[in-house]
Chain A
Amino acid sequence: MAAVMPAPASSRLLMSGNEAVARAVWESGVKVAAAYPGTPATEMLEVISTYPDLYAEWSVNEKVSLEVAIGAAYAGSRSFCCMKHVGMNVASDALMTLTLTGVMGGLVIAVADDVGLSSSQNEQDSRYWGRFAHLPVLEPADSQEAYDMTRFGYVLSEKFQVPVILRMTTRINHVKGLVTVGEREAPGAAGFKKDPARWVMTPAGASKRIPLMFERDKALRQMAEASELNRLEAGADRRVGFIASGPAYMHVREAFPNAPVLKLGFSCPVPVEKARQLAALADQVVVVEEVEPLVEMELKAAGIEVLGKDILPRSGELSPQILKPAIARLLGEPVPETTVAPPMQVFPRPPTMCVACPHLGVYYTLSQVKNLTIAGDIGCYTLGAGHPWNALDTCISMGASMGVALGLDKGRGEADKDKRILAVIGDSTFMHMGMQGLLDIVYNKGNVTVLLLDNRAVGMTGGQNNPGNGYDIHDNEAPRIDFVKLVESLGVKTERIHKVDPYQLPVLFKTIREEVKVPEVSVIITDQPCVLTKAYHKLKPYEVAEDKCTGCGNCIEVGCPAIHVTRRGKEVKASGREVDLAFVRIESSVCTGCGLCLQPCAPKAIQHHEPVSPIKLVKAVEEVAQ
């Protein structure tokens, strides 16, 4: 993204939590910021990259991004790293030793928990990392706090030479609220000071750092007890006192405006004494936290009587309408009557692939090949598990398709002896964590056909650049990886590597059919860009010639959202079998002419929306091919 003129200090701006963090990072004089895209964290680095005078990068995965930030912090510069919750699982190898070395320049790591799983494969509570790695955790409750706590995070980080975790959730990252911004501090870089005892973590060196970490824990606990970020708010209605952090605090304040509340902002180490103060002035204490009963368990362990997950949901987002009845029940009051009519039963709208998405061709083809077990991965192509394709059998974590496919191959029982094992992975996911898995398949002589869907972008998070498309975070040219060479150098035989246009269904079908029969590893690379990126070129739209459509419904099986049923019918075949008919039309205003749907159309009823000269068509096809 291009650099923009930052808004002047003291401006009051409508900002998402992500935008607020980005502004605070820039103002804190951060020199290096790195991340791998992931919902709901992505916009932090996207926005940071638009600020002047700092280095920002899309890293190939979260572990590398954290390591880049660590290096910059070792060099004495302030640095920043952000990721979605599952990203920290990847980065944690570095994190768990980083806690022993600490940092020189301030380091804030923003971790975004997708509470309620709006676009993730699991739900995690990243506050655990603070306990696991002995690091302070800050928890903003809105955009202004996201800004303030990021600024404070750098002060805290440098005071204790400790990396600081900023724990966010979707309701912080993506909620927009007003933020008053400030001035930028000049970046300072103290310079790297050689100190092997500090920076080289051998067993002997690391063991000496452990007691220092425990000392730091004590000092941090004292600071959390004294911190204004942990605020005791008095309230007249003392029947229930609340301890809450993050968005849960806002829900508590909204639902119980007169209750005493301990608002946790500096929530790890937990300020136990402050919790005791609250307990002393309220009849009962309820801990309201998303999502695990972490503070609750720690307070119980400290001998403070609190309630929490015994009366509140264990997973998902909290809200005033969840809290009010739960507390009413606790107090033995009548549960507030809801005047709300129940939601109407309406058809679902599961996320689907875009019109003309190059993955449509791949999944249509896979749905037509029998006897496959398909290990999937994380990205838009995970949607291949849904209708109409139902052509994805596993999805677990970034890059897992490779290892899982090998395991499916090696672990196959008698019943699966004739099954063909496939792995489907996208370009960015392959570079993130899939390459090692492919190497493992090659090395251990696995019988797996890998479909590497190169759409030249990190699609699901909004089409970010990556080493596969030859552009950096600023859209400047960057070295572009050659997937054929990369796969070849990992040991896949040259004759087992095929580059295929996913819009050419017969070629794709033939290639897949042939490669699954070969008892060794093959890689089929598809090479058309994501339709939401500027690399994609639209072609002339198609329409259905009503008089030619026989209602066979083959085109619907492609799964393109531009195809709509106009009427349904039934036909009795010569064999006496009754078949359903679905006559269709194409929404030509959104069709971009990829031509996938006309390939399975037996009566050739799909034609260009307007007559187009063959010369123009050839040119357009060439344009796409380039």
Chain B
Amino acid sequence: MSANTNILVVGIGGQGVMTATEILAEAAIALGYDAKKTEVAGMAQRGGVVSSHLRFGDKVLSPQITPGTADVLLGFEAAEGLRWRHMLRPDGIALMNTARLVPPVVELGLFDYPEDPIADMRKSGTRVVAFDATTIALGLGDVRLGNTVMLGAIGDHLPFPAEVLLEGVLKRFQRKGEKVVEQNRRAFEAGRAAAKGA
């Protein structure tokens, strides 16, 4: 039995973390892998922390990723990368959106948001590729393309071709017409390029 692939997708409630993980899971299943997906979400709808675990391989037992064993950390929010970096295996990679979402407890002055969470991750020895998915999405004409940019970013960090994931992403938008499909294709490719280039 070969080892499972462990992917951790993190962000905050409402960002689409769980949906992104589901699309990743479906791509793995389409290739015949066994897969399990689980969240530590809590009352995530209310702006809380979301960490979504995806494990796939010949056979998956426990759905949870053991700290220190994630192959890839896909971070939708900068500080969340810092929160979860310990989940990565020593040679794992973090693909980080640089977006900063500051919660009310920080605005109230009760806690501090780190000055540069991406730099902190690097300082602690984490391999990070960082990019601004929001700006990339806006450049392509719609902020909502951000999640497809994120999925594109992980495309070349999977044990299967990025095209399989791209196909799964585009299937989700088929009903919305050719224009939306094309926009998402471009967003996916832009994400791929961003994760390569940094």
Contacts and interface: CB of A to CB of B under 8 A. Distances in A.
Given A174-B39, A176-B36, A346-B83, A351 B61 contact: no
Contacts of B35: 14, 176-178
B156 interface: no
Given A118-B42, A321-B66, A341-B125, A556 B105 contact: no
A127 interface: no
A176 B102 contact: no
Interface stretch (A44-52, A93-101, A105-113, A246-254): A246-254
Q: How large is the interface on A (under 10, 10 to 19, 20 to 34, 35 or more residues)?
A: 35 or more
Given A177-B36, A344-B82, A344-B120, A353 B46 contact: yes
Contact of A348 (B26, B63, B68, B105): B105
5 contacts: A171-B64, A346-B114, A351-B48, A563-B107, A564-B102
Contacts of A563: 104, 107
B40 interface: yes
B186 interface: no
Interface string B7-33: 000001100000000100110010000
A387 B25 contact: no
A561 interface: yes
A617 interface: no
B42 to A, nearest CB: 4
Contact of B29 (A142, A178, A349, A556): A178
A313 interface: no
Contact of A321 (B12, B67, B114): B67
Contacts of B25: 14, 176
B89 to A, nearest CB: 8
B103 A339 contact: no
B174 interface: no
A118 B50 CA distance: 11
Contacts of A254: 61-62
Given A175-B38, A561-B47, A564-B102, A388 B108 contact: yes
A321 B62 CA distance: 11
Interface of A: 12, 14, 39, 118-119, 142, 171, 174-178, 247, 250-251, 253-255, 319-321, 338-344, 346-354, 380, 383, 387-388, 460, 462, 532, 556, 559-561, 563-565, 568, 580, 582, 584, 589
B38 A176 contact: yes
Nearest to B103: A349
B13 A351 contact: yes
Nearest to B120: A344
B147 to A, nearest CB: 16
A387 B47 CA distance: 14
Given A251-B64, A340-B86, 4 more contacts: A118-B40, A171-B64, A177-B37, A319-B64
B109 interface: yes
A347 B29 contact: no
B81 to A, nearest CB: 9
Contacts of B48: 349-352
Interface in B82-130: 82-86, 90, 102-114, 117, 120, 124-125
B170 interface: no
Contacts of B143: 589
B198 interface: no
B135 interface: no
A250 B120 contact: no
B46 A387 contact: no
Q: Which of B13, B48, B66, B90 is packed against the most chain A CB atoms within 10 Å?
A: B66
Contacts of B193: none
A14 B19 CA distance: 13
B62 A351 contact: no
B79 A347 contact: yes
B103 A347 contact: yes
Given A14-B29, A176-B22, A177-B35, A250 B86 contact: no
A353 B109 CA distance: 18
A351 B113 contact: no
Given A14-B29, A171-B38, A175-B38, A347 B44 contact: no
A559 B108 CA distance: 9
A462 B13 CA distance: 13
A341 B89 CA distance: 10
Q: Which of A178, A353, A460 is packed against the most chain B CB atoms within 10 Å?
A: A178
B189 interface: no
A556 B107 contact: yes
B35 to A, nearest CB: 7
Nearest to A319: B64
A165 B30 CA distance: 34
